[in-house]
Structure 1
């Protein structure tokens, strides 16, 4: 009897191990492959950041190890508090032509995989250290307002990205695009070292969508587009339409207390005046006879 129970338990366990669900879950758990790494500087000249991700899921917890070297010296790496797959690195030297070696390793219980990313920067004679990874964040606080008494203008203002630390020494240029919602084609304006622009060719009465991008004046790439804002040019207030003319207007009167109706037998004012005139005429005739 006990042997039968052991055989039954063993058969049950074997059936569980070979069940489709168990086999599928076991097959889905895989070791990591090389992560994809990108690095760019949005805080030049203070430093840069790198981010990474796996192209294929592993279905089990996977951690990442990050090491950065510059001129064969290890650099301090600070993990981002918000984005778990991002780290920040400070530039050790402002004027240096040595590449930065970024090593990112994905690790889980089934294995590990690494990739080395070389962040190559270039030395610019007039401005110092630059590279294709210099990419600012988008402009911030974009506002578009109509211009009073002008049906074809929109006033657009914005702020430089707050992450760009020294806009005075390393100024930015901006790329403005706008279009009415009724059309798909954008209009573009490139602006140098300015944080405002007046659109002068807007369609009257049409709602517009507006975005901006930022870029270092000399080297690097354009930022992503800013959050889109909407605005409509100024429109004249419609005048009220009246349905009557002045001659048709009946003046309003304030009702007063009703006048007392004359009593029967009581002479009116006109009658009293006539009676007094008759008596006066008769008196004049009598005096003339005498």
Structure 2
């Protein structure tokens, strides 16, 4: 026997012929849109008078009771509903064929917990927060992002109907131990979920990778390579807010990279290398006084040592 766990979102479907709406439902052009969760049981009720036996149709085709559903005098129950059950349902008088009401059934999932990350890639100008829902809902889902500094006013960062996105918090307070709190709430007709993210600005500094990384041989220097790069293009002022860099390099065929850290410079000479070998290099950037995290690695570049 199927367990008759009936999911009726909001009030009963006897309200279908009114102008009101209920939780999980909306009315469009006289057709009620009812939302249900995939994998749950969905019950549709007919508002026929006199409790007479109703005839149910799906997309104007008569429904014959079969496995996975149950028909009673006035109700239609779909067990373990799946997307193939979506469509326009209607119940009719068996003699006249007149429709009592019509329901457009849409199936999906309530929103999962939003995943939120916040980084300051343009320190000290702003903080960027991004989010992504942990599941697809297959239903219209609104995401609202707000933030506040300490116990200050709540401000809107973003709002929209996208499953993932980002927003920018401008004019951040620097060198403060009072945290910012970001709230991301996702809402659809089946429910809502929210996530809170707290941060101190200096602890979430993460520059973008260095750009224009170049590695080249040095004439008459068979064991040296010249490495050059530029600060991240998104970093506002590398002269005022200094960066340090980590260089990772390795010889072709070796799985043991070496690391070198340099401060406030955009070139370095690698020395003591194996003659005529091919070397690969990546560079990462970090706040000069070690706040936050290092950037991701730049794309690897390569060069072969000079040979005459």
- TM band (smaller chain): 0.5 to 0.7
Partner of 1:144: 215
Cα distance 1:216–1:142, how it changes in 2: closer, same or farther (>3 A)? same
Partner of 2:169: 89
Cα distance 1:199–1:95, how it changes in 2: closer, same or farther (>3 A)? closer
Q: Once the 2 structures are TM-superposed, how far is the Cα of residue 202 of structure 1 from its aligned partner?
A: 2.1
Q: Over aligned residues, Cα RMSD in angstroms?
A: 3.0
Partner of 1:109: 189
**Is the CA contact (8 Å cut-off) linking 1:176 and 1:213 kept in structure 2?**
yes
2:234 aligned residue (149, 163, 175): 163
Partner of 2:62: 10
2:108 aligned residue (29, 50, 70): 29
SS in 2 for 1:152: strand
Q: Is 1:43 equivalent to 2:122 in the alignment?
A: yes
**Is the CA contact (8 Å cut-off) linking 2:132 and 2:164 kept in structure 1?**
no
Cα distance 1:77–1:149, how it changes in 2: closer, same or farther (>3 A)? same
Q: Quick check: which has more Rg, 1 or 2?
A: 1
Partner of 1:126: none
**Is the CA contact (8 Å cut-off) linking 2:145 and 2:156 kept in structure 1?**
no
TM-score by length of structure 2 reads 0.63
**Is the CA contact (8 Å cut-off) linking 1:178 and 1:188 kept in structure 2?**
yes
SS in 2 for 1:42: strand
Partner of 2:281: 210
- Residue by residue over 1:11-54, the C-alpha shift from the partner in whole angstroms, topping out at 9 and shown as x without a partner, is 34x55985x9x933269721012211111111111111111112
Question: Where does structure 1 lack aligned partners over 5 or more consecutive residues?
Answer: 1-5, 122-129, 237-290
Deviates more, 1:175-184 or 1:112-121: 112-121
Q: Is 1:180 equivalent to 2:254 in the alignment?
A: no
Query: CA–CA distance in 1 between the matches of 2:164 and 2:172?
Result: 24
Query: CA–CA distance in 2 between the matches of 1:79 and 1:222?
Result: 30
Structure whose residues are more often helix by fraction: 1
**Is the CA contact (8 Å cut-off) linking 2:128 and 2:169 kept in structure 1?**
yes
Q: Once the 2 structures are TM-superposed, how far is the Cα of residue 209 of structure 1 from its aligned partner?
A: 1.3
Q: Is 1:222 equivalent to 2:294 in the alignment?
A: yes
Q: Once the 2 structures are TM-superposed, how far is the Cα of residue 110 of structure 1 from its aligned partner?
A: 1.9
Q: Once the 2 structures are TM-superposed, how far is the Cα of residue 173 of structure 1 from its aligned partner?
A: 0.3
Partner of 2:46: none
Query: CA–CA distance in 2 between the matches of 1:28 and 1:195?
Result: 55
Structure whose residues are more often strand by fraction: 2
Query: CA–CA distance in 2 between the matches of 1:118 and 1:77?
Result: 15
**Is the CA contact (8 Å cut-off) linking 2:133 and 2:164 kept in structure 1?**
no
- Residue by residue over 1:234-260, the C-alpha shift from the partner in whole angstroms, topping out at 9 and shown as x without a partner, is 122xxxxxxxxxxxxxxxxxxxxxxxx
Query: CA–CA distance in 1 between the matches of 2:181 and 2:137?
Result: 26
Q: Once the 2 structures are TM-superposed, how far is the Cα of residue 94 of structure 1 from its aligned partner?
A: 3.4
TM-score by length of structure 1 reads 0.67
